[in-house]
Amino acid sequence: MESVAFALFVVTFAAVAVRQVVARGPGIWTILLAGGGLTVAFGVLSPGGAWATVVDERAVLLFLLALFLFVSALERSGVFEHLAYAALARVRRREMLPLLLFVGFGLLSGFVLNDALVLVGVPLAFAIARRLDTDSRPYLLVLAYAVTVGSVLTPFGNPQNLLVGLDAGFAGPVAVFLRYLAVPTAINLLLGGLYLRASLAPPRGAAPSPPLSFPAVPFLPSGGWGARLARHPVLAIFPVTMGAVLGLNVYTGITGVSVLPSYEVALGGALLLLALSPGRPALLRRVDWSVLLLFVGLFVVVAGAVNGGLLAEVERVLPIPGPSAPSLASIGSITATSLFGSQLVSNVPWVALQIPLFHAVGYSGADPVAWIALAAGSTLAGNLTLLGAASNLIVVEQARRRGVAIRLGEFVRRGLPLAALTTAVLVLCLWAGL
């Protein structure tokens, strides 16, 4: 059975890797769902075992569903476009745009699932390029890099963080993430933005670009909020829900008393949104259900690998240091394996495989630095190559549909130094306890 489990795991993720490289064939969600089906068909997991696996991971699936509903409603409300143009109106020099967009998209991605945010960010990048009558590729690259760096900040910034936040055993995952990642993320957003501003600057000696002049747009519109909230209740429900998630997490972290799980709070807010929103069928149609199916298949494939004894083989090839006082070597080891492992199967599957391995070697919620290194390292892996994060592939595919090609070499040329810089800051901050 171990050989069957190993073969199914290798074939499934080899197919995922090939799909990412050639950008053709069935979607990744189809491949993983098929892998989950074969895991049951070959007896690696029983049907009951597969169902129990999905039920055990319901917190991740329901939290993702809630986030997708919120993002769908926010997109319909036009809030992302409004924020982009309000920011653009405050820029006077074109050379400052990469820094502003990097910090802006990065901050948003800490609180809006990055895979969903890029679906809105791509048309915004094209709109900005049209307004400036310039090439859209630099702004698309800034978007891809930004949502990787910024989404490190919270458990709901990206799917792999959500997996760690809900499965590591933290009493208050949001509070834990903010405790260890607020400082390195702030530093990385600033340094990354400055790096991209310099990297994307005109060649030395080129004529300076003329000053930009756009109509002033207030970040917070004045007046008419009654009608606006009636049309788009998400403008109130989303910040209140996320504030409640954050507040309850901080309360749990301080007192040790768990009031409600984060996913129940988020789901409650999403259900309230559905009840109060006009056009509910359109809202549901905008949800990316394929991502939820991807996770169902992923959970079953990984559970089959664990059941088949694959963990011992992974630990032999890529050993993880056991629980101990965090050291530069242990933090660096976990981060490095996450960086490179994510290039093989993308960061979400890598983290899904590592979580049971971490539990097997003894890590628990009492070892936050190791879990944070896993989550953040696998996330920052997205800036190493296009294959490291699903959000990169979404940007590439959305750009391709609009006739713009983003090449792997172009992405790596600017992304590799950024990944090295942000990872070094992360490791040093975790080691120093900042």
Q: What is the C-alpha to C-alpha distance for residues 76 and 79, in angstroms, rounded to an integer?
A: 8
Q: What are phi and psi of 318, to 5 degrees?
A: -125, 80
- Stated length of the chain: 434
What's residue 316's pLDDT?
Answer: 66
Choose among 188, 197, 191: nearest CA to 101: 197
What's residue 314's pLDDT?
Answer: 63
Q: In three state form, how does the secondary structure of 286-353 look?
A: CCCHHHHHHHHHHHHHHHHHHHCCHHHHHHHHCCCCCCCCCCHHHHHHHHHHHHHHHHHHCHHHHHHH
Choose among 326, 347, 324: nearest CA to 337: 347
Q: What is the C-alpha to C-alpha distance for residues 300 and 207, in angstroms, rounded to an integer?
A: 57
Q: What is the C-alpha to C-alpha distance for residues 406 and 268, in angstroms, rounded to an integer?
A: 39
Distance, CA of 290 to chain centre: 16
Q: What's the one-letter identity of residue 367?
A: D
Which parts of the chain sit beneath pLDDT 70?
Answer: 1, 20-21, 23, 203-211, 213, 253, 256, 309-319, 345
What's residue 186's pLDDT?
Answer: 96
**Domain range list for the chain:** 2-201+227-432
Q: What is the C-alpha to C-alpha distance for residues 420 and 426, in angstroms, rounded to an integer?
A: 10
Q: Tell me: the pLDDT tens digits for 374-419?
A: 999 999 999 998 777 878 877 877 787 778 878 878 888 999 999 9
